[in-house]
Structure formats: structure tokens, C-alpha cells
Amino acid sequence: MSQCGCGCGSGAGPFSKGRDLVEFVYQAHGGAIRGQEILQGPLATQCQGCGQPFLLRTYLGSCPSCGGVHAVAPMSPTAEDIQFAGRDYRLPS
């Protein structure tokens, strides 16, 4: 269990890396966090899949160029903490 109190039960938590963090943010608090705008404002970043620059506006988002899924934990929303789920990852439909 993640011990974050989110109740997602995935075993991953807000300090996870890569795909684990993306899936944690997607599921946390019943999915309520994933679409929330980052409180401190959008984070300028570079896609870790295709290298194109973009703004991560919500805690979970996709690169507009290649669709690569990125996330940042709400407790540490800085560009340095953005995690990439991997080139083959797609959000559940």
C-alpha cells in the first residue's frame, strides 16, 4: 500500500517513478487528481518520448506531438519531478 491515504491500493505511491507514478496519479482519489490543473501553474517540459517541448497543465497529461503520457505528483509539482510512462504506454479508455 502506498501509505498516502488515496485508497487506490495499487502499491505505488506519490514517490514512484515512471509508469508507476503515472498509474498512481491516474487512479489516486478515484481519478479526481488526474485532470486537475497544477496549482502552481503549467510546467514547461520536454517530452521524454519524442523530445518536443510542451506544457504539462494538469497532474497527468500527454505530449501533443506523440501522445506520450507524463505525470507529476501533486505534492512535488516541479518540472524535474515529471515522470514518463514509456513509449508504449497508453491511458486506459
Q: How many domains does the structure of the chain reveal?
A: 1
The verdict on residue 31 lying in a domain is: yes
Does residue 81 register a pLDDT over 80? Answer: yes
What value does the mean pLDDT of the chain take?
89
Q: DSSP letter string over 25-58? A: HHHGGGGTTTTSBPTT--EEEE-TTT--EEEE-B
The verdict on residue 69 lying in a domain is: yes
The verdict on residue 89 lying in a domain is: no
Q: What is the pLDDT of residues 42-67, one digit of tens each?
A: 999 999 999 999 999 999 999 999 99
Contacts of 49 (CB under 8 A, 6+ apart): 63, 66, 68, 84, 86, 87
The verdict on residue 78 lying in a domain is: yes
The verdict on residue 8 lying in a domain is: no
Cell 498512481, residue? Answer: 24
pTM metric for this prediction: 0.85
Structural domain of residue 67, as residue ranges? 18-84
Contacts of 78 (CB under 8 A, 6+ apart): 43, 72
